[in-house]
Every structure is written in structure tokens, then in C-alpha cells.
Amino acid sequence: MDRSDQTCGFSTMCEWESPDYEPTLPVSEKSNPLTRNIDRASADCIVRTLQACDAQMFQEQTEASHQKLLSDQVVKTLMEVAKRVEIILKDPQDSLVVLSGCGTSGRLAFLMATSFNRELRKLNRSLVYSYIIAGGDRALLSSQEAPEDDPRSGVLSLKKVCEGKKQVLFIGISCGLSAPFVAGQLDFCLQHPEVYTPVVVGFNPAHQAKDEPIPGCTFTFHSVVQRMQELSKSQVAFLINPTVGPEAISGSSRMKGGSATKILLDVVLSAAHAAACTNTPVTYEGILQHMRAYDKTLDITYAKTEGMTALVEAAGRSLRCGSRVCYLGWGSLAVLGLIDASECDPTFGADYEDVRGFMSGGYRNLSNNEGPLTSLGPQFCISHEDFLRSVLPYLSDQDTILLIFTRSDDVTEVAKLARRVREKTSNLHAVYHHTDGDTAAAEQGDISNLCLSTLNVTWPTPASRSFLLMQWELSTKLLLNAVSTGAHILKGKVYRNHMIDVQVTNSKLYRRATRLLQKLSAHPESKCEEALLRAIYRVDKLTQDITSSDMTAHTLTARKRTKVVPLALVVLLTGCALSEAESHLEQQPIVREAVEAWLS
């Protein structure tokens, strides 16, 4: 494929904000004009395009635009929520702050709840944070998209963690303001205001919250948000919903949605900690400054475009030839590796072996609610020992291995592992975060000598150690999102800027897939849904049984299938039988190429 630099002109920065731009879609589902041809871009251009998309997070609000991260109303709400957390930190008896979400939102809820509890433990204070992820802890490491549709299990899990509590600040995260699991929890909070104060975090204007009926419920996400908006006037509920622009890969909220979630909640919880633990009051200026510092985090990270490009190229080469990419991480940066790897399955239809994360100390250091999950299968083996035992013996130069560590980690241990990997493959790379005042350990030089590329990210000496760690985490998230997204683009898993091989495993993804087929084939919705069902059930003619089943049945069946959307698209565009489409895709797995070859 001729991969060019053609997508790198960024003149259309705000086209997506025009009311005429994809008017029926919420911001979080729109396609980003910057990335229209990202599927044909070179690795370098992919990285620079992702940088431009991420920069949209910090755009200023204009008169015509929706509120943004730095908007006055957003900063004020962050202050109010931080003060609520401060109250709980000062009087933790019978109180709790719960962070909850599905998929990436739940994984970030986990990361932040455990990180801030760790801070409290260091100070000998009571731990006040709990996390909930739809589908339970297995969803931290693997794709569990179906529980997102289940508001009842959302409520049950909330009741369970809050048993006996008298005061709960509930923070429900749903980037698209769409997950029924979270809607159920917010509705429950609204019904029990004597205990619960609900906060919703998402990245659409309130009127764009999902209004699709939820089976068995009288509310929709939209109606819950409306009630919360009313109650926010008297500060008994809070909405944090700036827009951050459409995702680089349409609907892939693991990217900007996840980053913005982390920025907002890191800022809120840090401000609350400073207020409760060091008597530094929560102020408007303080919050604003902290948010702006994250803008710098983006600059510092993307100043490494060349190094990022080398990583995207290496990972893309590995995936293209059916080999793998492994992240070997230390501390919380390893968790970001685990998270990034787990998202490749639902986003790109990847196998869990394609991109895998491993963490030093494994479950001993993960601090998840349910403890070790290794008995669930090889996908849940996450320690470096697991890597040495089950992956290292099979490595070759075609596999890409990435070490992720900081100056605070045991560099001798990193060097030891690097040497072991180097015996099997020369395709070893490193991402190393340190501050400008650090003197490099001798082993650091050894590690660089062992690696094909080392991305040294140098940070200014910070005001606080915990803020430095949060910056490293966000930076690592951006880097790894770029590596896994870029590598899958190079593998042909993206069509224009859409996840063409997305898993159709919940209502959001089912609707997104139907819409995508409509957009790419220009056929009416009914015909597209029919093609989608044919690809899900692998039949050329739909039976009465299939057409009378509900969406839950369809998404359950889709779990067992691969290449559902690509198949449906080929069928729609060419009119061929499913079996023909299947063999065509086998010969040409890059869907855009497959379709174009057929049509020409």
C-alpha cells in the first residue's frame, strides 16, 4: 500500500464543531476530519495525526462551541467535586468515593482508585476509594463488552461495595454518556440522595446523552443526565462533560476519552488530597494550573515523534507478519500496558496474543479486588515470570518487545530482564521516564545498548512526586495508544478512520457497526442490518428465528465470530455470498484493499 503523508495537513481543526457535521451523531461517535485517511498514512504521519487529535483536548471554548476541559464551568465543577472528596478524606468513617465504568472507563477507575488509595496508605490514612468495572476484575485484562448493557448488575455491584456506608460520592464514567450499566447506578444514586451524591463524567454535551430505551428500565442515560442537570443547580449532583473532539479512530473512547477521564479525575483527587492532607485549599487557579500542566505533558510526550514512529513501525511490522508485541512494565506504568493490550481485542478484533502486557510482580502489585486471576487462563497470566515461562522461549526477531520503566524502578532488574530478552530477539525497545536532574545509573546505559531504540522522556523536576507519576502515566498511555493503534492501522485493521473489525458485542457496538456499514456502503439501514446479521449468524438467508431474536441474542452470537463487519461490508458492496466474501477476505485481509480490488 502506498502510505503517504497526505493526511498531515491540519487545516480543518474545528470542522467537526459545525452543526452540519454528522449532525445525528454525538461528538464521541463522530469521525474526526483530521484522520480521514489515517489508514493510508505512514507511521510518522500516524503519530503526528494522533498528536493533532490529542491537542484538540485542550482547545479553548469559543462562543459557538461546547464546553471544553478548561472552560470556566468545568473548572468550577471540578472544584466542587474536589471539595466533596476532601470532606470524605477528612471524615472517612462510613464514607466512600466510588469510581465506576465499563471497558476502558472501568480500567481507569481501577487505576485511579488504587493509586490514590496507595497515597493514603503511605500517609497512614483510611482508604476511601473503591472501583467498579462492569464484568468484574476479568474485565481489567480482557474484553467484556456485554455487561455494559446491564443496568441491574451496575446497581448490584454498587450496593455491594457501599454496604453499611452513610455517605458515598459516586463517580460514574461513561465517555459517550451511554453505558446502561452506569445509567443504572446513577439512577440508583438519585433515588437515595440521603447517602449518594452522583457525579457523571463523559465527553458529550448533555443533550447528546444516549436516549435509547434500556430494556426493563423506565430511564435512559439521557433522562438520568437531565435529572442530574436539574439537581446540579443545587449541587446535589454534578456533571463533568467537556467535549474533547471526535476520537482519532471513530468511537474509540479508550483514546481521548480515557486520557481526558484520567486528567479530570487526577486533578480532582489530587486537589482533594492536598486540601485534606497538607491544608492547601481547593482553588480555581490551582485546578486550572494543574489542568494546564497536563497540556505540557502532551507536548513533552509528542516531542518524541521520531522515537514513537520507530515504535509504531516496529510494532506494525510484527503484527503484519503474525508476530507479537509485548509490553514489559514496572509499577503503574505496567498497568497502562495491561490496559492498552486488553483494548486491542474489542477495537481491532485482535487476538490476545497479538499485543500483551506484563507487570513486574504480577498480581502482587496489581491490588485488584479479586486478587490473582491466573486460573482464568493464559490471557490472565501477567507477571514477568509468566512472560519468561510462556512467551520468551518462542520469541524471534519478528516480535517487538517494549520495556516501560522510570528512574524510580529497579534499573538492575530492568537490565537483567533486557539481557534475557536480548538472547532471543534483537527487536527490543525501551521507554524510560526520568527528570532533568537525574544522573543516569550505569545499568541505564547497558539497557540502551541492548535496545534497538530507546525513548528517553525527560521531565522537568516537579513540585510533587505524585504529580510526576501521574504525568508519566498519561504520557505512557498516549505512547502505548499510539503504538497499538498505529500498528493495527499498518496491519490494515482500520478503514478510513473506522474500526472495521470491531467486535459487535453490545448495543453500542451493534448500532455503531450498522451505522458504519451504512456510511461505507450507502445502502439503507435495513439492508445494512440484514447484512450484519448474515455475517453474525453466518447464513445467506435470515431465518424467522434470527429476525425475531433481540439485540442481546445477536450480540451474544457475535462474541463467537470474527471479522463480522468486514464480511458484512464485502457482502453489501459486492453482492456476493458469505462464503465468497470469507475467502476473499482471507486472501486480502486489509479490508479497504479487499473491497477496492473487488470493485475494480
**Binding track, positions 253-292, relative to ligand S6P; x by CB under 6 A:** xx--x-----------------------------------
Decide whether 105 or 476 has the Cβ nearer to ligand S6P: 105
498 part of the interface to ligand S6P, by CB under 6 A: no
Q: How far is the CB of 497 from ligand S6P (least distance, A)?
A: 14
- Which of the residues 86 through 145 are near ligand S6P (CB under 6 A)? 101-105
- From the list 250-258, 286-294, 350-358, 516-524, the region that binds ligand S6P by CB under 6 A is 250-258
35 part of the interface to ligand S6P, by CB under 6 A: no
Q: How many other CB atoms sit within 10 Å of the CB of residue 521?
A: 18
Q: Which cell goes with 421?
A: 530478552
Query: From CA 300, how far away is CA 309, in angstroms rounded?
Result: 15
Decide whether 181 or 405 has the Cβ nearer to ligand S6P: 181
Q: How far is the CB of 252 from ligand S6P (least distance, A)?
A: 4
Give how far Cα 441 sits from Cα of 192, 430, 468, Å.
55, 15, 19
Decide whether 125 or 511 has the Cβ nearer to ligand S6P: 511
Decide whether 86 or 345 has the Cβ nearer to ligand S6P: 345
565 part of the interface to ligand S6P, by CB under 6 A: no
232 phi/psi in degrees, rounded to 5 = -65, -25
Q: How far is the CB of 118 from ligand S6P (least distance, A)?
A: 24
DSSP state letter for 61: P
Q: How far is the CB of 94 from ligand S6P (least distance, A)?
A: 29
Query: From CA 261, how far away is CA 240, in angstroms rounded?
Result: 10
Q: How far is the CB of 400 from ligand S6P (least distance, A)?
A: 22
Q: How far is the CB of 178 from ligand S6P (least distance, A)?
A: 5
Interface residue with ligand S6P among 174, 360, 475, 476 (CB under 6 A) is 174
Query: From CA 384, how far away is CA 330, in angstroms rounded?
Result: 10
Q: How far is the CB of 333 from ligand S6P (least distance, A)?
A: 20
Question: Which residues neighbour 487 within 8 Å (Cβ) at sequence distance 6 or greater?
Answer: 312, 315, 316, 318, 319, 325, 355
Q: Which cell goes with 333?
A: 506504568
343 part of the interface to ligand S6P, by CB under 6 A: yes
Cβ–Cβ under 8 Å, residues 460 and 436: yes
Q: Which cell goes with 515?
A: 451505522
Interface residue with ligand S6P among 148, 149, 354, 386 (CB under 6 A) is 148
Interface residue with ligand S6P among 50, 179, 225, 240 (CB under 6 A) is 179
Q: How far is the CB of 498 from ligand S6P (least distance, A)?
A: 13
Decide whether 254 or 356 has the Cβ nearer to ligand S6P: 254
178 part of the interface to ligand S6P, by CB under 6 A: yes
154 part of the interface to ligand S6P, by CB under 6 A: no
Interface residue with ligand S6P among 49, 157, 204, 347 (CB under 6 A) is 347
Give how far Cα 194 sits from Cα of 224, 398, 444, Å.
18, 58, 54
Decide whether 252 or 400 has the Cβ nearer to ligand S6P: 252
Q: Cell numbers 466510588 correspond to what residue?
A: 98
Q: How far is the CB of 197 from ligand S6P (least distance, A)?
A: 20
Decide whether 201 or 401 has the Cβ nearer to ligand S6P: 201
Decide whether 42 or 252 has the Cβ nearer to ligand S6P: 252
Residue 494 bridge partners (DSSP)? 499
Decide whether 146 or 455 has the Cβ nearer to ligand S6P: 146
Of all residues in this chain, which one has the CB nearest to ligand S6P in the complex? Answer: 103
Decide whether 176 or 286 has the Cβ nearer to ligand S6P: 176
Q: What is the DSSP string of 153-204?
A: HHHHHHHHHTTT-SEEEEEEE-TTS--HHHHHHHHHHHH-TTTEEEEEE-SS
Cβ–Cβ under 8 Å, residues 185 and 100: yes
Q: What is the DSSP string of 539-550?
A: -SS--HHHHHS-
346 part of the interface to ligand S6P, by CB under 6 A: yes
252 part of the interface to ligand S6P, by CB under 6 A: yes
Binding-residue total with ligand S6P (CB under 6 A) = 19
Q: Cell numbers 457482502 correspond to what residue?
A: 571
Query: From CA 73, how far away is CA 183, in angstroms rounded?
Result: 23
Query: From CA 309, how far away is CA 456, in angstroms rounded?
Result: 14
Query: From CA 95, how far away is CA 88, in angstroms rounded?
Result: 6
Q: How far is the CB of 424 from ligand S6P (least distance, A)?
A: 31
Query: From CA 88, how far away is CA 195, in angstroms rounded?
Result: 12
- From the list 246-254, 373-381, 449-457, 511-519, the region that binds ligand S6P by CB under 6 A is 246-254
Decide whether 182 or 520 has the Cβ nearer to ligand S6P: 182
Decide whether 146 or 395 has the Cβ nearer to ligand S6P: 146
Q: Which cell goes with 312?
A: 509504531
Decide whether 89 or 255 has the Cβ nearer to ligand S6P: 255
Phi-psi region of 94 (alpha: psi -120 to 50; beta: other; left: phi over 0): left
What 208-212 contacts at long range (C-beta under 8 Å, 24+ apart), as own/partner pairs, is 208/26, 208/27, 208/177, 209/26, 209/177, 209/178, 210/26, 210/176, 210/177, 210/178, 210/508, 212/507, 212/511
* Percent helix / strand / coil, the chain, rounded to 5: 55, 10, 35
Helix (H) or strand (E) holding 136: none
Q: How far is the CB of 83 from ligand S6P (least distance, A)?
A: 25
Interface residue with ligand S6P among 33, 154, 176, 180 (CB under 6 A) is 176
End-to-end CA, the chain: 16
Q: How far is the CB of 463 from ligand S6P (least distance, A)?
A: 31
- From the list 118-126, 158-166, 176-184, 324-332, the region that binds ligand S6P by CB under 6 A is 176-184
Q: How far is the CB of 103 from ligand S6P (least distance, A)?
A: 2
Where do contacts with ligand S6P occur on this chain (CB under 6 A)?
A: 101-105, 148, 173-176, 178-179, 252-254, 257, 343, 346-347
